Chain A
């Protein structure tokens, strides 16, 4: 009994900081945020209870919100799959015995390394300018230059390209996954006369599926919360014509520019619910496509 008490005490001494931090910086704010989401609150006067008004307004009375939600979905569902496919293709190309692979791996990873910075967002803004190098490249290929900042759809794709450009960290994870697939599987398949695509779909994809699942979930969450590139590239406005008004940026504007703290809290809760639904959808779908070796396959 004595030692049990002592063990419990030691345990809580070590994880104590986490519990205190969790209560102070997570659980209390979550409860507060839940309460604020049912109020009208401008930070200076006290919160006023409005029931479900904020949520009703979001979906029936705020076209800007619905627009922001729509472009965020486009951003997530175009950007994440493109990035993962790109990462997988490059990882397969780099999965050779060549000695130069280490160098290539480093070079391909660099965009991911610096991609979240303000400097890169500034760079992106400038290479997509009317006279930027992207348009120069398009013109040399005989394609008409695009006014990336004159067209909301083009501006959103500019953000998606920035996200795909940072495929490097997923590529590293896929590369590690590919290396762990026993070479004998491929040899056996070759003996049986399997071609490239057959091997890809019956060996590579199933063996890699747990890693793909993990990446898909983490990247979807991260993409949904993207803030810096939209903030910098649009100079904090979400323009042109709200083309880059990603969810996090609109939430930030509602909270800290218009001081609609109640409304912004409600937006944060809807975001949490959407992320939870998306994550569970990916997760539940995984039983149909993710292969775990310990189960002996499906």
Chain B
């Protein structure tokens, strides 16, 4: 009996110790952001900031080019919300069509959708850029947001899988009660797929919040920069001593990601375990 306890203890020490090792860089980043810039690498072997300062946050929050970091957060939030609305509406409509309606060409279009899932963005990146330039959409959010209103294959697939688990008897009962097709979507299916919609919303948030390539291609004026672009600017303007501000704003950029994760953990873990969404 005693040997079993020792074995259990050893297991927990190893597994927990490995978790600390894995997360040590993140802990180091957070703790370093409270150190004086000059001390970050001089005292890299210690986690404890001495003295503990908030000046990095103050300095980083000032941003650059007359725009504070608050502006970049606001820009990113607008970007995220617009994409989020687009994905929720379009993906649920499209997924309902694929999962529930019988029409000619359904199998064909479904196959096409699965194929676009595998298509590298690089193949369409350059012509898309040229098209958006012709439309005079450069230096605006439009090229980044408008496509979201036409569905996203990952989420369509996720929602289709989810809708297929809902019994068809519900649809039939609704038809008897006088619902038309749109009514079935809106009154029956939509309320029942909220868990899958939550997964869609959460991953849309992560991917949009972290998106760097899109904003780098399409946004030029600092007034429109997103958080990830602003961090990239900090890096390009990196001088010997302003690591502190860059670290501090890196930490700030991770806070919303962690908050969303801890609130909606269940949906994130289920989303990945059941559909293989990449986190």
Contacts and interface: CB of A to CB of B under 8 A. Distances in A.
Q: Do A and B bind each other?
A: yes
Helix, strand, loop or mixed for chain B's interface?
helix
B194 interface: no
B80 to A, nearest CB: 14
Given A26-B116, A113-B206, A131-B41, A123 B279 contact: no
Of the listed residues A19, A124, A165, A222, the one surrounded by the most CB atoms of chain B closer than 10 A to its CB is: A19
Nearest to A276: B118
B29 A18 contact: no
A165 B94 contact: no
Interface in A102-161: 104-120, 122-127, 129, 131-133, 136
Max chain B C-beta neighbours (<10 A), residue from A96, A115, A228:
A228
Interface in B58-108: 90, 93-94, 96-98, 101-104, 106
B18 to A, nearest CB: 8
A33 B250 CA distance: 36
Contacts, number: 251
B1 interface: no
Interface residues of A, number: 94
A67 B122 CA distance: 19
Interface residues of B, number: 87
Given A12-B97, A118-B227, 7 more contacts: A15-B97, A113-B258, A113-B279, A169-B277, A228-B213, A267-B122, A268-B123
Contacts of A7: 101-103
Interface of B: 8, 11-12, 15-16, 19, 22-26, 28-29, 41, 44-45, 90, 93-94, 96-98, 101-104, 106, 109, 112-113, 116, 118-131, 133, 147, 149-151, 156, 181, 185, 206-207, 209-210, 212-213, 217, 227-228, 231-232, 234-236, 243, 246-247, 250-251, 253-254, 257-258, 261, 265, 268-269, 272-274, 276-279
Contact of B124 (A19, A26, A108): A26
Given A26-B119, A129-B41, A169-B278, A14 B149 contact: no
A113 B15 contact: no
A168 interface: yes
Contacts of B8: 98
A109 to B, nearest CB: 7
Given A10-B101, A19-B109, A136-B45, A25 B128 contact: yes
B165 to A, nearest CB: 16
A265 interface: yes
B232 to A, nearest CB: 6
Contacts of B25: 123-124, 127, 133
